[in-house]
Amino acid sequence: MKEERPWGYYEVLHDGEDCKLKRITVNPGERLSLQYHFKRDEFWRVKEGVATVTINEEVYELQKNDYIQITRGTHHRVENKQNIPLVFIETQTGEYFGEDDIVRLQDDYNRT
């Protein structure tokens, strides 16, 4: 299942009771909203490109095969500052994986 978004798209690779797995592609120069979740934790592993990741007030540059853990309630964002697509795998764990568990704090696409 491929879901288009203003920043790129994601594909659901697995949707189980105990986890959800997505391949996320962020187009060059785009970023996701600054957000957090109540019911899930996320683990991101970069497959292609460079991810600029904001976790609360800290900013990290993740290269291919680098990873980061995002716990529920943590403010986070990923950005692609490169001129090639950014691809990363997101593993969600927790009690609920619906898209309505996204609380947007800032958004370039007026979705807050």
Token readout for 64 is 């291919």
* pLDDT higher than threshold 80 for residue 1: no
Residue 16: which of 71, 88, 95 has the closest Cα? 95
The reported pLDDT for the residue numbered 98 is 95
CATH number at residue 44: 2.60.120.10
The reported pLDDT for the residue numbered 86 is 98
Per-residue model confidence as pLDDT tens digits over 20-45: 999 999 999 999 999 999 999 999 99
Q: Is residue 90 part of a domain?
A: yes
The reported pLDDT for the residue numbered 57 is 95
Per-residue model confidence as pLDDT tens digits over 42-82: 999 999 999 999 999 999 999 999 999 999 999 999 999 99
- pTM to 2 decimal places: 0.95
| SS (HEC) of the chain | CEEEECCEEEEEEEECCCEEEEEEEECCCCECCEEECCCEEEEEEEEECCEEEEECCEEEEECCCCEEEECCCCCEEEECCCCCCEEEEEEEEECCCCHHHCEEEECCCCCC
Determine the structural domain holding residue 83 and report its residue range. Answer: 2-106
The number of folded domains in the chain is: 1
Q: Is residue 111 part of a domain?
A: no
Q: Is residue 112 part of a domain?
A: no
Q: Is residue 28 part of a domain?
A: yes
Residue 62: which of 36, 41, 34, 82 has the closest Cα? 82
